[in-house]
């Protein structure tokens, strides 16, 4: 089963997006602009048009090595 996450914080073009989380866990790593944006699950949930989803809060960015 695929759960979904509401992204909070981080880059403006990712903040507020709802993304799949496979498998559900403690961290979400999203490839973005030559690096990765890292989000951690919070204890909060939000009601959205896609149903109730977990809120994941941005906590760091890592760059890909060239």
Structure tokens at 4: 């979904």
Name the residue ranges covered by the structural domains of the chain: 1-26
9 vs 39: CA distance, rounded Å: 9
Q: Specify whether the CB–CB gap between 39 and 56 falls below 8 A.
A: yes
Whether the model clears a pTM of 0.75, i.e. scores above it, the answer is: yes
- Minimal CA–CA distance to 37: which of 3, 4, 10, 8? 10
Per-residue model confidence as pLDDT tens digits over 13-56: 999 999 999 777 778 999 999 999 999 999 999 999 999 999 99
Res 51: pLDDT: 92
């Amino acid at each position: 089963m695929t759960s979904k996450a509401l992204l909070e914080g981080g880059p403006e073009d990712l903040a507020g997006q709802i993304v799949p989380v496979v498998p559900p866990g403690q961290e979400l790593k999203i490839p973005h602009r030559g690096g990765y944006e890292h989000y951690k699950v919070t204890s909060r949930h939000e009601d959205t048009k896609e149903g109730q989803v977990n809120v994941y809060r941005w906590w760091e960015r890592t760059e890909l090595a060239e």
